[in-house]
Structure 1
Amino acid sequence: MIHPMRLQKGDTIGVTAPAGPPDQEKLQRALAFFNELGLRVKLGRNIMKKLGFLAGTDEERLSDLHEMMADTKVKAIVFARGGYGTGRIADRIDYELIRQNPKIIWGYSDITYLHTAIRQQTGLITFHGPMLASDIGKNDFDPFSAQLFKQLFIPTQLDYTEVISPLKVYAPGEATGQLIGGNLSLLVSTLGTPYELETAGKLLLLEDIGEEPYRIDGMLNQLRLAGKLRDAAGVILADFAEADPTVNPSLTLEEVFMDYFSAFPGPVMSGFKIGHCFPHFSVPLGVNAKLSTAEKRLLIEPGVR
C-alpha cells in the first residue's frame, strides 16, 4: 500500500465536487476551517457547476480531479460533498496519474466508489471523513470531528473504544486485516464491475443513510450472495442514519444485523460513529487494523507517512 505524505502548515489542499453540486454558502463557510489549520485552499475550476443532480458534466468533474492530482503544489484533495456521480467517472480516471502522484484523498458517502476503485487500482491509502459542504460548513460540525483532521499532519494510530460510543457485539472474536469499505449502497453498486469490492481477509466497514431495514437487508443479502461477507475477516457496523422503517410490519435494524452476523466466524461489532453522523470518526482506508470484541476496540494504523 502507498501511504500519502503528511500535511504541513502552509500546504495547499484542492477541493473538487466529483458527485453532487455543493451548497455554495456551506462550501465557503468551510474554507475558514482549513485556513485555521494553516492550509491554503484551491477550488476546482468547475466547483460552481450544476447539471441536475451532478456538479457539472462528467468531463468537468473528471477534469477537476485530474487537475488536482497533477498539480504538485496540491498536497491533498478534500471533496466538497457526496450525493451521486462518482461511479459515472470511475472508468475514465487516470489511475496511473494517481499512482505517480500519491496524495491525501478525503471524503465519504458517494466517495466510497472512488475509495474502492483508487485503492484497488493503485494501492493508495485514502481517508473516510467529513466533507466541506455536507459536514464542515454546517453549524453543528463538532470539535471532536474537527480534531480527527490532525491525523493528516502527524502519523497517528487511531484507537476506537467505548469511550467514544457504546459498542454492541454481534459475533465474538479478534481479527487483523486491511480496513476497507464505506457506504453500503455504493459498495453494492461496485458488484459486477471492474471495481468490485475485494473483501478477502479484510475488515469490512459498513455505513449508510436513509435506508430502512428492508433495504439494508437486501443489500447485505446481495453482498452475502456475492461472497463478500463470507470472505471478510471481520465486520465494523458503523452509523446507519435515518434508518427507521416506514413499512409495517418491519424487522428492526438490529434484527437484520442479527440475521446476517450472529453466526459470523469473525468479530462483528456495531455502534461506531463513522458515517453520516456527528461526531464523525475519520479513518484511513487501506491500512491494517485490529478489531477485538473482547476489548471492544478497533485499532487502526496511521494513514500518512
Structure 2
Amino acid sequence: MLPRVNPKHIYIYSPSSAVREKPAFRRGVAWLRAQGHEVEVDETALTAQQRFAGDDATRVAAIGRAAASGADVALISRGGYGLTRILDAIPYKAVAKAIERGTAFVGMSDFTAFQLALLARTGAVSWAGPTLAGDFGAEAGVDEITAACFDDLLDGAGEGTGWRLPARDEPPVFKPVRGATLWGGNLAVLCSLLGTPYFPQVDKGVLFLEDVGEHPYRIERMLEQLRLAGVLARQKAIVLGQFTGFKAAPHDRGFKLRTVVDRLRTQVKAPVLTGLPFGHVPTKVLLPVGAAVDVAVEGREGFIVWGHGVGGSGHGGHHHHNHAEA
C-alpha cells in the first residue's frame, strides 16, 4: 500500500463492552498506524468493569474526551452492550459541536444507540461503519472494501455506495427516492429505543437494518414491532443489510429469513431492498446516519448517494461500487 498523502488523527475509545481480545485491539491500532495515521488511544480504552469498558461514568467521560480530541475520526474499539445504560448522560451538545468541527464518529452494533440518540437530540450526522478490533484488527486481515470505504471517509472523496442486489431477489419496482433522511443500524438496539426520547422521529426516511445472532422469527417480531408502532409506514424505503449468526431449527419447517422478507413486502408500502453490504460481516460500507440521501435501483444495482461534506468538514462518503453479493 502506498504511504498516505494525507494522514489523519484517529481517536480510539470504548463506550460499550470491555475489550477482551487485546491482540485484535493491538492489530487494529498497528494497522491504522501502518497507513500513516496518528492514532490516539483513550486512557480508559482497555479498562474493564464487569462486562463493560469501565463503569458508566468512565464511559461517559471517554465519549467526552473523544468529542474534545479534535480528531478527524472518533472510532469505537468494539460494540457489545453498554451505551443504552448511559443515554441520559451523554454530552450530546459537545458531540454535535465536535462533528461540526469535522470529527466523524464511526461505529456500529451497540453504537446504534449512540447514533440514534444523537440524531434524535441534535440532528447531527454520524457514520455507521467499522470498529477497531472487529475490522481493522481482524485476524484474517482487513477487508479491502471496508478499508477503501474508510479511506474515502477520511479523504472526503466519495458520495455514495452501490451494491449488487442478491440474485435470488427480484429487484422491486423502485421509484427513485430523493433527499430522504438515512437512519437505522442494528435492529434489536433500534427497537429497544422505541417510545424513548432517543428514538428519532424520521418521516419519509430511508431505514437500513442489520443484526447478528437473531433467529428469523425474532427478526420478524422486531420488524412487526416497528410496523405496529407506525414507524415502517413513515419510510420511503427499507434497506436490509446482513442478518447473520443464527441457526435454523427443525421446528421452523421452512420458515426462514426469506420468508420474513417476503411477508414484510406484503405488509408495508415502502419498497424493501436487500443485500446491503453492512452488518456483522467483514465487508461493510460506511453510511451517514442522519444525512439526506437519494436511493435508486438500476437493473440489479442498488445505490445510496449523498452529497459532499456530510458529517463534518470535508468528510464525504465513498464512491466504490461495492459488488458485495449477500
- Note whether the superposition's TM-score is higher than 0.5: yes
Q: CA separation in 2, counterparts of 1:247 and 1:208?
A: 22
Deviates more, 1:38-47 or 1:168-177: 168-177
Shift of 1:289: 2.1
Q: Which residue of 2 aligns with 1:260?
A: 264
Which residues in structure 2 correspond to 1:192-231 (within 5 Å)? 192-231=195-234
Instruction: Describe the superposition over 1:144-188 as per-residue Cα deviations: whole angstroms up to 9, x where unpaired.
Output: 2111112221241123131x8658347432223111100000100
2:191 maps to 188
* Contact 1:179-1:287 within 8 A present in 2 as well: yes
What is the one-letter code of the residue matched to 1:276?
H
Residue 130 of structure 1, CA deviation: 1.2
Q: Could you tell me whether the CA contact under 8 Å between 2:11 and 2:69 is conserved in 1?
A: no
Contact 1:190 1:196 in 2 (8 A): yes
2:8 alignment counterpart: 11
Structure-2 separation of matches of 1:232 and 1:142 = 31
Task: For structure 2, list consecutive stretches of 5 or more residues without a partner in the other structure.
Answer: 315-326
Displacement of 1:69: 0.6
**Does the Cα contact within 8 Å between 1:171 and 1:262 map onto a contact in 2?**
no
1:170–1:230 CA distance, 2 compared to 1 (3 A): farther
Structure 1 197/169 Cα, relative in aligned 2: closer, same or farther at 3 Å?
A: farther
RMSD of aligned Cα (Å): 2.1
Q: CA, structure 1 residues 248+57, in 2 after alignment: closer, same or farther (shift >3 Å)?
A: same
SS of equivalent to 2:87: helix
User: Structure 1 residues 281, 236: closer, same or farther in 2, change over 3 A?
Assistant: same
Report the counterpart of residue 280 of structure 2 in structure 1. 276
Instruction: Give the aligned partner of residue 149 of structure 2.
Output: 148
Q: Which residue type is aligned with residue 248 of structure 1?
A: H
Q: With structure 1 as the length reference, what TM-score do the two structures score?
A: 0.90
Distance 1:234 1:214 in 2: 22
TM-score, scaled relative to structure 2: 0.85
Shift of 1:142: 1.6
Residues 163 and 277 of structure 2 are in contact (CA less than 8 Å); yes or no, is this contact kept in structure 1?
no
Aligned residue number for residue 173 of structure 1: 174
Shift of the alpha carbon at 1:24?
A: 1.4
Q: Which residue of 1 aligns with 2:81?
A: 84
Does structure 2 retain, via aligned residues, the 8 Å contact 1:169–1:293? no
Aligned-pair distance for 1:8?
8.2
Q: 1:20, 1:53 within 8 Å by CA — same for their partners in 2?
A: yes
Contact persistence 1:180–1:205 (CA under 8 A): yes
For residue 60 of structure 1, give the secondary structure of its aligned residue in structure 2: helix
Q: Deviation string for 1:63-93 (max 9, x for gaps)?
A: 1110121233x23200000000111111101
Amino acid at match of 1:34: L
- Closer, same or farther in 2 for the Cα pair 1:166/1:285, shift >3 Å? farther
The answer to whether 1:44 aligns with 2:42 is yes
Q: Secondary structure at the match of 2:183?
A: strand
